[in-house]
């Protein structure tokens, strides 16, 4: 469920008409709903009630400072994957003890900053990383709290580019060899072993792969405890998918995921940590764009928008489907016939949808891409020298620009020309 609905014939974000935001901010722009973000965080939080737990928002899905502040105020933790994300989380108000640091390539410098600034745990993904973290912690006279990210060799049954839990993926330590790595970690003076971490992929639409992975983690917890390790926290990663296509069967709900966690891991008396990104922010955001032209091609029509692949790369990168709807509610029978919906960037890959039926749209009309709150703005670039687009946050009947559109001068003046040219 989200808070983008037609009211009086116009798409609203909560109680604000999307057309009013467009008039003030100009298109294209992203808009997020406070109510949807809050609701989705709470669904996870409530799904884990009865278990000691922390929902750590995967900020890679949406790292706007205002969104992070909202999550922080709701009591969330945060999952970061770079020191940039760590510093952003800190700037948004997260205390170190609510920040989890994941990622395969943490540098020594990143480790030092996080240790000095405070950290809940590092999710360590390899032996060389473990050695490096131990060295950095020892040099600071500290102990780094860690979970080892285990690769359970489970097929997440999702898009290949976002599956992470198979043995051929770059992520984690193979489950078969992790006992030995835990043994080494247990002997390191700068390391404090506190748990196990697993994340098998993103946009999972079935619970079965989670079940396979969590069952393996339960067995591993027993084994490691028998080996003498104090395993007290299990980080289960993120990955629960969202319904992008309304006609498809909807993925499982957080409450069902919560039941699964309880059933597979509840008996271990561990603190449960999860790192959802998409399910919290995905359906909490839309991308609003204007039609520039309706172009009649040979045997094909093109709806050319002012948003492009640099603003929302998911369709060209993963062939991802996004619902695209008119901001003014269409009248029944206004179907225009199939058309390709494209952006102005000079690549054929700059295509949002092929042969999509759209209702009577023409120049200047507004459209909204649904489910664009996750992996939308964060993956944007300035390709074709198109400045990053604004982000807006709505709460009830108020809205605020939470990232302004840079001027062309700001974009141009970031570069410098050497004196010798
Ligand atoms: N934890 C870790 C260690 C991750 O790598 C990820 C996502 C998450 C949590 C959050 O997963 P989520 O709950 O959002 O599925 N750009 C792609 C998605 C990449 C996901 C990367 N890792 C997309 O647009 O579909």
Question: What does the domain layout of the chain look like in residue ranges?
Answer: 4-31+282-412, 34-281
What pLDDT sits at residue 156? 87
What pLDDT sits at residue 87? 98
402 in Cβ contact with 391 (< 8 Å):
yes
Q: Which atom of ligand 1 is nearest to the CA of 241?
A: 15
To the question of whether residue 6 is assigned a binding role by annotation, the answer is no
From CA 15, how far away is CA 395, in angstroms rounded? 8
CB of 278 shorter than 6 A to ligand 1: yes
* Dist. CA 296 → ligand 1 center (Å): 38
CA 142 to chain centre: 31
To the question of whether residue 314 is assigned a binding role by annotation, the answer is yes
* Dist. CA 125 → ligand 1 center (Å): 16
The stretch 78-102 carries a mean pLDDT of 98
* Dist. CA 201 → ligand 1 center (Å): 7
A 10 A CB-CB count for 81 gives 19
**206-234 pLDDT, tens digit each:** 999 999 999 999 999 999 999 999 999 99
The answer, yes or no, to whether residue 360 has pLDDT greater than 90, is no
Better pLDDT: 93 or 335: 93
**141-152 pLDDT, tens digit each:** 999 999 999 999
Please tell us whether the domain made up of 34-281 is placed in CATH 3.20.20.10: yes
What pLDDT sits at residue 79? 98
Instruction: Give the confidence band of 63 by pLDDT, cuts at 50, 70, 90.
Output: very high
Kindly report the protein residue whose alpha carbon is nearest to atom 24 of ligand 1: 375
Tell me which residues are annotated as active site.
346
Where in 297-419 does DSSP place strands (E)? 301-305, 324-326, 335-342, 351-359, 366-369, 391-395, 398-403
Mean pLDDT of the chain: 96
The stretch 15-23 carries a mean pLDDT of 98
CB of 162 shorter than 6 A to ligand 1: yes
CB of 203 shorter than 6 A to ligand 1: yes
* Dist. CA 61 → ligand 1 center (Å): 7
The pTM is what? 0.97
Q: Which CATH architecture has domain 4-31+282-412?
A: Beta Barrel (2.40)
What pLDDT sits at residue 337? 80
The stretch 269-273 carries a mean pLDDT of 98
- Lowest-confidence region among 54-63, 86-95, 163-172, 227-236: 163-172
Q: Which atom of ligand 1 is nearest to the CA of 159?
A: 25
Query: Is the CA virtual torsion 205, 209, 213, 218 positive or negative?
Result: positive
Cis peptide before 385 (omega within 30 of 0): no
């Amino acid at each position: 469920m989200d808070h983008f609905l037609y009211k009086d014939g116009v798409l609203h974000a909560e109680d604000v008409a999307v057309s009013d935001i467009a008039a003030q901010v100009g298109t294209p722009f992203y808009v997020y709903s406070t109510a949807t973000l809050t609701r989705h965080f709470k669904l996870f939080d409530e799904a884990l009630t009865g278990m000691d737990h922390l929902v750590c928002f995967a900020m890679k899905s949406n790292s706007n400072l205002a969104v992070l502040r909202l999550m922080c105020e709701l009591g969330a933790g945060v999952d970061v994957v770079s020191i940039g994300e760590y510093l952003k989380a800190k700037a948004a108000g997260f205390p170190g003890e609510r920040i989890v640091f994941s990622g395969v390539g943490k540098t020594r410098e990143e480790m030092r900053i996080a240790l000095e600034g405070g950290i809940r745990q590092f999710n360590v993904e390899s032996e060389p990383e473990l050695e490096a973290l131990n060295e950095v912690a020892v040099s600071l006279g500290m102990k780094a709290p860690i979970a080892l990210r285990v690769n359970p060799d489970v097929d997440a049954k999702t898009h290949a580019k976002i599956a992470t839990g198979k043995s051929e993926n770059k992520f984690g330590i193979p489950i078969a060899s992790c006992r030995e790595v835990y043994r080494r970690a247990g002997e390191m003076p700068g390391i404090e072993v506190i748990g196990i971490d697993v994340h098998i992929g993103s946009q999972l639409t079935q619970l079965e792969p989670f079940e396979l992975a969590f069952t393996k983690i339960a067995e591993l917890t027993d084994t490691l405890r028998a080996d003498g390790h104090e395993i007290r926290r299990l980080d289960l990663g993120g990955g629960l998918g969202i319904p992008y296509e309304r006609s498809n069967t909807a993925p499982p709900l957080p409450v069902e995921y919560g039941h699964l966690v309880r059933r597979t891991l509840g008996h271990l008396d561990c603190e449960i940590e999860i790192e959802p990104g998409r399910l919290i922010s995905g359906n909490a955001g839309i991308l609003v764009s204007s039609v520039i032209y309706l172009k009649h091609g040979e045997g094909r029509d093109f709806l050319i928008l002012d948003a492009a692949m640099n603003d929302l790369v998911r369709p060209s990168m993963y062939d991802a489907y996004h619902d695209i709807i008119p901001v003014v509610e269409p009248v029944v029978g206004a179907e225009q016939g199939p058309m390709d919906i494209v952006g102005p960037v000079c690549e054929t890959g700059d295509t949002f949808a092929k042969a999509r039926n759209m209702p009577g749209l023409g120049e200047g009309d507004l459209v909204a891409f649904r489910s664009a709150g996750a992996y939308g703005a964060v993956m944007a670039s300035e390709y074709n020298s198109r400045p990053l687009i604004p982000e807006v946050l709505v709460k009830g009947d108020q809205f605020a620009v939470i990232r302004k559109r840079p001027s062309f001068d700001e974009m141009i003046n970031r570069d410098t020309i050497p004196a010798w040219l």
